[in-house]
């Protein structure tokens, strides 16, 4: 039976780089692997075909010979490089080494500790100005009795008798050889016959530790601070993980934050809104005077430059935006009501001169209603 073109087998163009060849072979080999297609002779044939194609095309010299002479250039009977000269285990280990551990490679039983996360709640003032905070976290720390080895003091872990310290065992399935994690040592390559009395062979113990966290000025909810090496202890002497401190800024009674800007609402009496005046408004640096011009309308925004937040990642300081809300007076005295009634009478006599927005709005409503009737 005539062999198919190797590039066609892998589904790549003739100018495909080596990395694309490897990805293509991985895809085809996974699809037609005998373990995924038990009893399927067709799939097994396509798997062997892909294995042969990749064995040739992944070799620079063989690929050059194949590109020039075709299958004859790599046929051992024709003096070529000889597809199939390498065993399946060699190629399988090269392509799937990152999945199954790699042929002949020893898995290290030393593992890095897990990263930890801690949510730190801050007031707006502390977030804007920066602060130092002490936090207490539960974590796994290296066992001091055995220095993280897991073995009783004076003894040490031994090579696993099943995998001979490799951390993996080779399983044969017909013509194929597959490596799997050693079931006895779970890939560590070591076993502990005499475990430490403190950590019971784990190399780490549960404990609490207190850390000092330096919070830089300008942080906001969602920012995080990494404390290198303050996560969980590694296993069997491995390095510790990191601790990530997640920032959460609590709501403030006066200000809300929008990036580098701060916002607040300022209630003023309708007399101050009409006549204007000077008001004292709060900022994070103390009180400042704000001049309210006469005839100020509710919703008017006043911007106080550079009274916001200095961003943690640099840049200019934000502003404080004060929104005026005109408050309607309550609990009026009889005299106040009389004066306001007199004021209203004078105001009505002026018409739209003193309430242009009100007059314009009601005119719009009238026009809208009239259009519905027509």
| 87 belongs to a structural domain | yes
As a whole number of angstroms, the longest Cα–Cα distance in the chain is: 119
Say whether both 126 and 231 belong to one domain.
yes
In sign, the C-alpha dihedral spanning 55, 56, 57, 58 is: positive
In sign, the C-alpha dihedral spanning 116, 117, 123, 129 is: positive
DSSP assignment of 229-261: T-SPPPBTTPPP--EEEEEEEPP-SS-EEETTE
| pLDDT value for 106 | 46
In sign, the C-alpha dihedral spanning 92, 96, 101, 102 is: positive
Say whether both 289 and 170 belong to one domain.
no
| pLDDT value for 119 | 94
Q: 360: domain range?
A: 334-373
Q: What pTM does this model have?
A: 0.56
Task: For residue 30, give both structure tokens.
Answer: 């996974």
Say whether both 112 and 237 belong to one domain.
yes
If the chain, 374 residues long, is cut into consecutive pieces of 10 residues, what is the mean pLDDT of each piece?
Answer: 83 88 87 81 87 88 82 60 42 46 48 88 95 90 83 84 80 65 78 86 84 95 93 76 94 94 93 91 91 92 94 92 93 93 85 70 78 76
| pLDDT value for 101 | 42
CA gap 331, 346 in Å, rounded: 23
Point out which residues pair with 227 in neighbouring strands: 243
Domain of 170, CATH number, reads: 2.10.230.10
| pLDDT value for 86 | 41
DSSP assignment of 112-130: PPPPEEEEEEE-HHHHHH-
Point out which residues pair with 322 in neighbouring strands: 264, 302
CB atoms within 10 A of CB 352: 12
| 1 belongs to a structural domain | no
Number of domains in the chain: 5
């Amino acid at each position: 039976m005539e062999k198919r073109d190797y590039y066609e087998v892998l589904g790549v163009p003739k100018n495909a780089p080596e990395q694309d060849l490897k990805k293509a072979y991985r895809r085809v080999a996974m699809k037609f692997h005998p373990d995924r297609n038990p009893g399927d002779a067709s799939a097994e044939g396509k798997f062997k075909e892909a294995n042969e194609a990749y064995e040739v095309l992944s070799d620079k010299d063989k690929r050059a010979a194949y590109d020039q002479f075709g299958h004859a250039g790599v046929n051992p009977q024709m003096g070529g490089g000889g597809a199939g000269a390498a065993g399946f285990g060699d190629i399988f280990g090269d392509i799937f080494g990152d999945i199954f551990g790699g042929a002949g490679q020893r898995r290290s039983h030393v593992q890095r500790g897990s990263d930890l996360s801690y949510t730190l709640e801050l007031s707006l003032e502390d977030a804007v100005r920066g602060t130092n905070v002490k936090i207490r976290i539960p974590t796994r720390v290296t066992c001091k009795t055995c220095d993280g080895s897991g073995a009783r003091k004076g003894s040490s872990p031994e090579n696993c008798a099943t995998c001979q310290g490799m951390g993996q065992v080779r399983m044969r399935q017909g013509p194929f050889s597959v490596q799997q994690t050693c079931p006895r040592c779970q890939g560590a390559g070591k076993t502990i016959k005499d475990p430490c009395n403190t950590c019971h062979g784990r190399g780490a113990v549960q404990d609490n530790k207190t850390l000092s966290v330096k919070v830089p000025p300008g942080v906001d909810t969602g920012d995080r601070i990494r404390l290198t090496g303050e996560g969980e202890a590694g296993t069997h002497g491995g390095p510790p993980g990191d601790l990530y401190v997640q920032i959460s800024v609590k709501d403030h009674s006066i200000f809300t934050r929008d990036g580098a800007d701060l916002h607040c609402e300022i209630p003023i009496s309708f007399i101050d809104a009409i006549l204007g005046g000077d008001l004292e408004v709060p900022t994070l640096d103390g009180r400042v005077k704000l001049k309210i011009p006469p005839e100020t309308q509710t919703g008017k925004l006043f911007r106080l430059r550079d009274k916001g937040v200095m961003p943690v990642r640099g840049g200019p300081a934000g502003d404080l935006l004060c929104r005026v809300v005109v408050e309607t007076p309550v609990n009026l005295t009889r005299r106040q009501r009389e004066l306001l009634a007199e004021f209203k009478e004078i105001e009505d006599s002026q018409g739209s001169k003193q309430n242009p927005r009100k007059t314009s709005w009601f005119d719009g409503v009238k026009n809208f209603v009239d259009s519905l009737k027509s």
